[in-house]
Every structure is written in C-alpha cells, then in structure tokens.
Structure 1
C-alpha cells in the first residue's frame, strides 16, 4: 500500500481521488435507492450527486483528504466510493469514514478492504484525529464492517437526520 492519499492500492482495489470523470459512476452508486436504505433523506438526484462530487473535490483541495473512487484494477470498473473527511462529532475533531458500493458488489469484502486502507492511512498521516464510523442504528451491514475493523459501539449521537450510533476503535474509546 502506498502512503499517498491521492492513490492507495490494496490487494484487490485501487483507491484514487474521485474526480469529474467519475460523475456517471457516482450517479449510478449514489442514486441507487438500495445504497440509501438506511438514509432517511433517501438517494440524491443526479444533480445533487454532481454537487456532492464537486464538494468531495473541494475537500481534497482544502483538507488534503477526502473520498476515493474505488476501482477494480483489472477492469477499471468503479465499484464504489469511500474515504475520510474531517468531521466534528459533539465538538471533537475526528475523521469520519464513509463508503457506498454498487449493490452488485456487496458481500465481497470491498467495503472492509477500502475502510481498512483508509484507517491505516489515517493512523500514519493524521494520528491526532480519531477515525469514527457514524451509522444508522438499523444499518447492521455497516456495523458489521466497523466490528471487522476492530471498532466498537462507543455511544450515540444525533444528526440532522436523526439518531446515529458512533463506532470507535477500542484504544480511542479508552482515551475518550
């Protein structure tokens, strides 16, 4: 795995900075109602996805970190998006881990593989900010990924969309 946040390679995936050329894939992934089953706001429109993609690029430019397009190197197919963003959780500066994948690629371990690479990168490059996973209380698949990464339920919070569960790694939970 490389240390550059612009591009990280794992055993099966290429994580690369999402850009304007990823709009069609972003619309496919993010506008699919199945990928928003646990999002009370539902899926965004194609226009909203375009705005989100622009926002992700602004985060890279401003923060030097953001969301990657998750690609299968043999084919170049973008199977999802994910990464880290600066986030304030109840006033504490953190890095929030996010991911969404095409339903056709669920159950293959790609979310865990991408998330593990993101957390490892954050440990090296941003050790001052704990990584958190914020998920809907009913989103068991996301909670399962969190547990596979060694995160535990550390508490609850409220967002504009309602109540959420907060997952942290054990050592971060002990320090908090």
Structure 2
C-alpha cells in the first residue's frame, strides 16, 4: 500500500554519514562512544541515584563494553543515536545524551540523558540536550523530539524546561521502575520551537 506523504527523513539520513561530534559552545562536547569509556560508564552506574530513575544496572566493565558496542552500532541501523557528553578540554565523561526510538519516516525520536554524580548541578544535561535538539531539529531535519521522565523526577523536569521542551501532559502509570509504576511527564520540542 503506497504512502500518501513523503518521509520526513529518508533512510540513510544517519547511516550515510559518520556520527558527528557536537560541541555545545560552552565547554561540553557530544561525541560518539568509545570502547575506552567503559570504566567511566560502569562507575556512573554504581551511583545509587542512577538506580532511582534507570532500570538498568551494570555488573561489570565487560558488560558495559557490550552496551557501548550496541550504542555504536545503532547509528548504522538508524534506530538510535548515542553520544558521550564530555568536558571539551579534558575529555572527562560527564554523561550521556541520546535519540532513542528513531522513526526517520515520521521525523520523530525520543531524547534520553543521564549525568554522572560529579557532573550534577552544573547544567550538563540541559546544555547537552539543547545541543542535541539543535542538531536533530535544525541541522538534520527531524520534526519532533519527545522527552519523558517520571513525574517524581523534578530535576529531569527542570532539564526538559531549560532545553525548550514544552510539557504536553502526563502518561499515567506508564513506566515500571524498581519501586513500582510511575506516571511520566511527556515533553516535546518541534522544529521551529526555541528554548
């Protein structure tokens, strides 16, 4: 059955080019993950605060090395795009920002992020998310980016607002965390929105 509209982004939009490095312009750099990042990611996932909002745990650096390989391979499959957020000068891993659930034909993706304990309180997540949104919407041509977080996660709500993602509503009992089902805020930013 033929489609009645053209795809927003054609297949090959991501896979046809190398994954870029994205400077934030204020001291951070978003770069593709590297195998040598495994110890930093493993250390980040030992933080109890990470377990409050993420359902994944890391049992070893070897396990994390597998995650990084998966993150890197998603670019070629055009299903997700994952970046390490690093200090532009020293290269220290400060967090992660990603586009998940990419639907190129619809021009839609979901934004996700986390930061290391040492990076919290330094506006790393909103700065990285703003840079990613600028690249995805303004440079690449995505139409809509969605961002969801547990309604109880007030820090993540602040990140979304600072990065220009408007609150659109609440998805009731939408995500299972270790402590039970959570309502989720749905934020979005569409092409043409400004933070």
What range is the shorter-chain TM-score in? 0.7 to 0.9
Which of 85, 89, 93 lines up with 1:70 in the alignment? 85
Which of 126, 137, 146 lines up with 1:132 in the alignment? 146
Q: Where does the alignment leave 5 or more consecutive residues of structure 2 unmatched?
A: 1-17
What does the per-residue CA deviation read over 1:51-105, in whole Å, with 9 as the maximum and x for residues that have no partner? 32222111122218611111112222111111222347xxx76311111111111
- Corresponding residue SS for 1:98: strand
Which structure's CA Rg is the greater one?
A: 2
**Is the 8 Å Cα contact of residues 86 and 93 (structure 1) preserved in structure 2?**
no
Which of 68, 73, 78 lines up with 1:53 in the alignment? 68
**What are the within-5 Å matches in structure 2 for residues 86-125 of structure 1?**
86-87=101-102, 94-125=108-139
**C-alpha separation in 1, matches of 2:32 and 2:57:** 22
- From the superposition, tell whether residues 70 and 171 of structure 1 become closer, same or farther in structure 2 (CA, over 3 Å): closer
Q: Where does the alignment leave 5 or more consecutive residues of structure 1 unmatched?
A: none
Please tell me the root mean square deviation across aligned C-alpha atoms, in Å. Answer: 2.7
- Corresponding residue SS for 2:161: helix
Q: Which moved more, 1:47-56 or 1:11-20?
A: 47-56
**Is the 8 Å Cα contact of residues 27 and 49 (structure 1) preserved in structure 2?**
yes
Offset of residue 36 of structure 1 = 2.7
TM-score by length of 2: 0.73
**Is the 8 Å Cα contact of residues 152 and 170 (structure 1) preserved in structure 2?**
no
**Is the 8 Å Cα contact of residues 127 and 163 (structure 2) preserved in structure 1?**
no
Q: Aligned pair 1:167/2:182, yes or no? A: no
